[in-house]
Amino acid sequence: MEKLADFDVAVIGAGHAGIEAAVASARRGCKTALFTIALDQLGNMPCNPSIGGSAKGHLVREIDAMGGVMGEAGDACCIQMRMLNLSKGVSVHSPRAQEDRRAYHTYMKKLCENTENLFIIQGEVCDIEIDENQSVRGVKTRFGGTYSCKAAVICAGTFLNGMVYIGKTGESSGPDACLPARYLSEKLAAHQIQLRRFKTGTPCRVHRRSIDFDKLQPQYGDPDPQPFSFLAKRGSLRNDAVCYIANTNAETHRIIRENIGESPLYSGMIHGVGPRYCPSIEDKVIRFSDRERHQIFVEPTGLSTDEMYLQGFSTSLPEYVQMKMMRSVEGFEHIEVMRPAYAIEYDCVNPICLLHTLAFRDFHGLYAAGQFNGTSGYEEAAAQGLIAGINASAYVFGQKELSLTRKSSYIGTLIDDLVTKGTEDPYRMMTARSEYRLSLRHSNADARLTPIAREYGLISDSRWEIYCAKMQRIEQALEKIRMLTVSPDAVNAYLESVGTSPLKQAAKLDTIMRRPQVAFSDVISALNLQLDLRGEEPAEVSHRIKYEQYIMRQDQQNAHLANLERIRLPQDTDFAAVHGLSSEAVEKLGKLRPENLAQASRISGVSPADVSILMTWLKAGGYHAE
pLDDT tens digits, residue range 103-119?
Answer: 999 999 999 999 999 99
| pLDDT for 64 | 98
- pLDDT of res. 542: 95
Any idea of the CA torsion for 565, 410, 72, 97, to the nearest 10 degrees? 180
State yes or no: pLDDT of 237 exceeds 80.
yes
537: phi then psi, degrees, rounded to nearest 5 = -65, -40
pTM across the whole model = 0.92
**Can you name the CATH fold of 560-625?**
DNA polymerase; domain 1 (1.10.150)
Residues 36 and 121: their CA atoms lie apart, in Å, by 6
Pairing of strands 94-99, 50-52: antiparallel
Q: Confidence band (pLDDT; 50, 70, 90) for 563? A: confident
pLDDT digits (tens, 9 = 90+) for 44-83: 999 899 999 999 999 999 999 999 999 999 999 999 999 9
Residues 120, 11: Cα–Cα separation, whole Å: 10
Choice among 212-221, 496-505, 587-596 with the minimum mean pLDDT: 587-596
For residue range 372-426, what is the model confidence (pLDDT) as tens digits?
999 999 999 999 999 999 999 999 999 999 999 999 999 999 999 999 989 888 9
Q: Is the pLDDT of residue 462 over 90?
A: yes
pLDDT band at 277 (very low <50, low <70, confident <90, very high): low
What is the location of CATH 2.40.30.260 in the chain?
205-344
- The amino acid at residue 514 is R
Can you give the pLDDT at residue 612?
A: 83
The type of residue at 130 is I
Split at pLDDT 50, 70, 90, the class of 1 is low
DSSP H or E segment with residue 76: helix 70-76
Per-residue pLDDT averaged across 570-583, rounded?
Answer: 88
Q: Return the minimum-mean-pLDDT range out of 240-244, 255-259, 264-268.
A: 264-268
Q: What is the pLDDT of residue 624?
A: 54
Question: pLDDT, tens digit, for every residue of 150-162?
Answer: 999 999 999 999 9
Mean pLDDT (the chain) is: 93
Q: Which CATH superfamily is domain 5-39+117-198+346-455 in?
A: FAD/NAD(P)-binding domain (3.50.50.60)
DSSP secondary structure of 382-427 = HHHHHHHHHHHHHHHHTPPPP---TTT-HHHHHHHIIIII--SS-B
pLDDT at residue number 565: 82
Tens of pLDDT, residue by residue over 6-54, are 999 999 999 999 999 999 999 999 999 999 999 999 999 998 999 999 9
The predicted structure's pLDDT at residue 625: 55
Domain 205-344: CATH architecture, name and number where available:
Beta Barrel (2.40)
Q: Which of 559, 587, 436 is nearest to 55 (CA)?
A: 436
Per-residue pLDDT at 555 exceeds 90: no
pLDDT value of position 622: 61
Q: Strand locations in 439-525, DSSP E?
A: 485-486, 507-508
Give residue 276's pLDDT band: very low, low, confident or very high (50, 70, 90).
confident
Between 620 and 579, where is the model more confident? 579
Percent of the chain residues topping a pLDDT of 70: 99
177-204 average pLDDT score: 93
Rounded CA separation 205/341 (Å): 8
Question: What angle do the packed helices 559-566 and 537-557 form, to 10 degrees?
Answer: 80
pLDDT per position as a tens digit, 127-145: 999 999 999 999 999 999 9
pLDDT band for position 446 (cuts 50, 70, 90)? very high
Task: For residues 451-471, give the mean pLDDT.
Answer: 98
Q: Which CATH architecture has domain 461-548?
A: Orthogonal Bundle (1.10)
**pLDDT-derived band of residue 619, with 50, 70 and 90 as boundaries?**
confident
Per DSSP (E only), the strands in 323-363 are 337-339, 342-349
Residues of the chain with CATH 1.10.10.1800: 461-548
pLDDT of residue 539: 94
How many CB atoms neighbour CB 590 within 10 A? 12
Q: Is the pLDDT of residue 601 over 90?
A: no
Q: Which of 447, 538, 414 shows the shortest CA–CA distance to 55?
A: 414
Rounded Cα distance between 347 and 344, Å, is 10
**Residues 6 or more apart in contact with residue 123 via CB below 8 angstroms:** 35, 36, 37, 141, 142, 143, 145
Contact criterion met (CB below 8 Å) for 545 and 478? yes
